[in-house]
Amino acid sequence: MESVNCPSCEALLPLRDPGLPYSTCNYCQSLVRRRDGAAEVVGTVASLPLDVSPIQIGTTFALDGNSAVAVGRVRWGWQDGSWNEWFLRADDGRHYWLGEAMGMYMLTSEYPAVLAVPAIKNFADGNPFALGATVKAGGKWLEATDVKEASCLGSEGDLPFATLPGRTMTNVDFRNANGDALSVQRDDDGTTAWLGRWSDLAGLQPKNLRRIEGWTMPGTLA
Amino acid sequence: MTLARAVTCPSCGGSIEVRAAGYTVTLACRYCGSVLDVAHEDVRLITAYKRANANFAIELGTRGTLFDVEWEAIGALRRRSPGAIWQEYLLFNPYAGYRWLVVADGEWQFGTMLLHRPDGAGASIEWRGKTYQLDDDATVETTTVLGEFYWRVSRGDRVQCATFARGSSFLSREAATDEVTWTHLVPVDRRQVEEAFAVRQRYKPRAGLKAIPDGFFKAPGTGENDLPMMFLMALGALLMIGIVQDLMSRPHLCANNRFDVVVGAATATHKIGTIEVTRPWQFVTIQADSNDFSNRWVDLDYSLVNRRTQQSIDAYGIVEYYTGSDSDGPWTEGSHHGETQFAGVPRGSYDVYVDTGSHGWPTDPPANATDPDHPWSAPDSISMWFNACTGGHSWGMFWIFAILLFGAPCLILWRRHRD
């Protein structure tokens, strides 16, 4: 694995996905931007609050015959809670977001086509989105069940955007009866859409899960 | 490093662990019951309470294995609908997520939240190729909250909850203001849960008292509202006992007569009449009433003489009435009425006799006193009316039943009040 040194503390920064511009230094919490082989510190990331997520940087998943590894995590907070989103890089170079909520997982990959849907285009233009509205994405009808204003609580690993304190976004979650999921996120950089499905942890066939003290990893997941 | 997040209750200062750190947003303090917002780093008090309700079958923090996965009970709710009251436990395992244990009337169910939701609406729905029929649709209110939850929860929360059944397996649809959740519930053996989660003794039916049905003890989930039911049942049973006592005492076959009893005279024997006991065993009740008198008593020795065997059953009664005056003022004692009961008189025909003897208090009036001025005046005597009837029942027995029936719920009421 390639690596650079943190310009701030000189610690080794492993590059899990050289294509990604941002890395969080595990030692000094510096957010390091890599561009043209050079690394510069652009700010300091908040330390992640304690949680009992079973996932860690390096956890692998078997997705549709493809293997993917968790390379980064951002934690979002909103009025009534907070959640993790893990950034996964698959062997074929595709990226996924794996969102954690209610002990369940929402696995999505980028699906820009839905941004052309008028209701979502309208949202991308800065307008609010109505709960209950339905959109069609990937041949599936999905209903908007949740709209949240979230702010960045911290990060680790390699990520596609800067995770400095104060970063905010608006997230619209869509779902349907079949467990399909669509997540549309709007922030200062623009709007992106991610389509996928809900799953439990076992359904993602994870390996190299985090060891959580006091708990035995189920044999099927170890 | 232990992975529980320690927080301090802003209301009571108690130190509490957040077990599902990172997921939990609401925590009801185990010491004072106050509902806290722990979604963010600074813990915020949502509602202060004075006392945590520890009246749950499973102690929070207890771990148990169900369906091959170890679960920790981290949250507990007491909920009710118009027809039922039950307890729900939120189970957590960081690798397996959340599950539910629901207990109503001592029956346990294991619940899993559904990602693939059922199709259809109305009275029947389809899930995984199987049809579930609408079983219940009611507003469910949360009455007690303890421990931690991954959503905002508070006492008094109301959701519309529809339950669909297929055999012993249920699908439950809960609709809060902005979201709908579906849960699949399957039955779990009571002993399995009791063993896995060290269910508190008072929520288990006691072994060895097999004659007493399980429902006698407080099954977890039946909650407080089983007491009114117990009182109602006790009242109903007592009413039934009264009716049965009355019916069993029938028929009422009576004989009556009237005699004058001379005060101070020797004992006299009178025949009241003949009565027929038509049941194998029956009560016989004799009422004695007198005219007005005072400072006299009448001893009444009754005999029921079986006409066939000439065997006699005896009982004693008295009618007495006294008046007087002392430092507290005038007083009276006694009554002009007396009732005597024979329990268990065997079938047969009986002559009813009464031996009467009357005396004055503190002394008898002079016997056969004749006033020289009124030589024709009658001697001092008391008129007695007797009514002897088969039937009648024992009020003593009735009240003993009443005490037995109401004793248990009263005891429970007192115990719970004390808790």
Is 80 exceeded by the pLDDT of residue B364?
no
- Same domain? B142 vs B283: no
Whether residue A81 and residue B39 make contact (CB cut-off 8 A), yes or no, is yes
Instruction: State whether residue A35 is helix, strand or coil.
Output: strand
pLDDT digits (tens, 9 = 90+) for B280-292: 888 899 999 998 8
pLDDT-derived band at B212 (thresholds 50, 70, 90) equals very low
| Parent domain of A11 | 3-44
What average pLDDT score do residues A67-93 get?
A: 93
Which residue from B3, B23, B25 is facing A80, i.e. has the nearest CB?
B25
Residue B377 has a pLDDT of 56
pLDDT-derived band at B231 (thresholds 50, 70, 90) equals confident
Residue B196 has a pLDDT of 92
CA A218/CA A187 separation, integer angstroms: 38
- R_g of chain B computed on alpha carbons: 36
Residue B355 has a pLDDT of 92
Q: Is residue B145 part of a domain?
A: yes
Is 80 exceeded by the pLDDT of residue A187?
yes
Q: Is residue B275 part of a domain?
A: yes
Least confident stretch, B81-90, B118-127, B204-213, B225-234: B204-213
Better-predicted residue by pLDDT, B121 or A39: A39
Residue B371 has a pLDDT of 54
Residue B354 has a pLDDT of 93
CA B49/CA B65 separation, integer angstroms: 33
CA A205/CA B382 separation, integer angstroms: 104
Name the pTM for this structure.
Answer: 0.68
Residue B281 has a pLDDT of 86
Number of domains within chain A: 1
Maximum Cα interatomic distance, chain A, rounded to a whole number of Å = 50
ipTM of the complex: 0.91
- Same domain? B263 vs B190: no
Instruction: Answer whether A126 touches B (CB < 8 Å).
Output: no
Test mutation, A79, A174, A215, chain B, max B CBs within 10 A: A215
Residue A38 has a pLDDT of 83
**Residue % of chain B over a pLDDT of 90:** 41
DSSP letter string, A82-148: EEEEEEEEETTS-EEEEEEETTEEEEEEE-GGGGGSHHHHHHHTT----TT-EEEETTEEEEEEEEE
Q: What is the β-pairing status of strands B169-175 and B97-104?
A: unpaired
User: Cβ–Cβ contacts within 10 Å for residue B373, how many?
Assistant: 6
Test mutation, B23, B95, B98, chain A, max A CBs within 10 A: B95
- Same domain? B192 vs B289: no
Is 70 exceeded by the pLDDT of residue A85?
yes
Mean pLDDT score of chain B: 85
pLDDT digits (tens, 9 = 90+) for B264-285: 888 889 999 999 998 888 889 9
Residue B209 has a pLDDT of 41
* C-beta separation of A22 from A4 below 8 A: no
List, as ranges, residues 31-70 from B with C-beta within 8 Å of A.
39-41, 68-70
* Beta bridge partners of residue A37, listed in sequence order: none
- Same domain? B63 vs B180: yes
- Same domain? B156 vs B285: no
DSSP B61: T
Residue A47 has a pLDDT of 87
Q: Is residue B35 part of a domain?
A: no
> Is the N-terminal amide bond of B251 cis, ω within 30° of 0?
yes
Residue B215 has a pLDDT of 41
Kindly report the backbone phi and psi dihedral angles of residue B149, in degrees, each rounded to the nearest multiple of 5, phi listed first: -145, 150
**What b/e string do you get for B196-214 counting C-beta neighbours within 10 Å, with b at 16 or more?**
bbebbeebbbeeeeeeeee
Is 80 exceeded by the pLDDT of residue B221?
no
* C-beta separation of A166 from A154 below 8 A: no
Number of domains within chain B: 2
pLDDT digits (tens, 9 = 90+) for B14-26: 999 999 999 999 9
Is 60 exceeded by the pLDDT of residue B216?
no
Write the secondary structure of A152-175 as one string of H (helix), E (strand) and C (coil): EEEEEEEECCCCCCCCEEEEEEEE
CA B257/CA A89 separation, integer angstroms: 110
Distance from CA of B22 to the nearest CA of A (A): 4
| Parent domain of B351 | 254-390
- Same domain? B286 vs B193: no
Q: What is the β-pairing status of strands B296-306 and B337-360?
A: antiparallel
Q: Is residue A50 part of a domain?
A: no
The rounded Cα B302 to chain-centroid distance in angstroms is: 41
Least confident stretch, A4-8, A203-207, B363-367: B363-367
Instruction: Answer whether A1 touches B (CB < 8 Å).
Output: no
Residue B246 has a pLDDT of 84
- Same domain? B274 vs B186: no
CA A211/CA B401 separation, integer angstroms: 63
Is 70 exceeded by the pLDDT of residue B160?
yes
* Beta bridge partners of residue B292, listed in sequence order: none
**Residue % of chain B over a pLDDT of 70:** 89
Kindly report the backbone phi and psi dihedral angles of residue A192, in degrees, each rounded to the nearest multiple of 5, phi listed first: -125, 155
* C-beta separation of B80 from B223 below 8 A: yes
Residue B184 has a pLDDT of 95
pLDDT digits (tens, 9 = 90+) for B138-147: 999 999 999 9
Residue A204 has which token pair?
A: 């993602």
Q: Residues A111, A115, A121, CA angle at the centre, nearest 5°? A: 165
Residue A158 has which token pair?
A: 């390699």
- Same domain? B259 vs B148: no
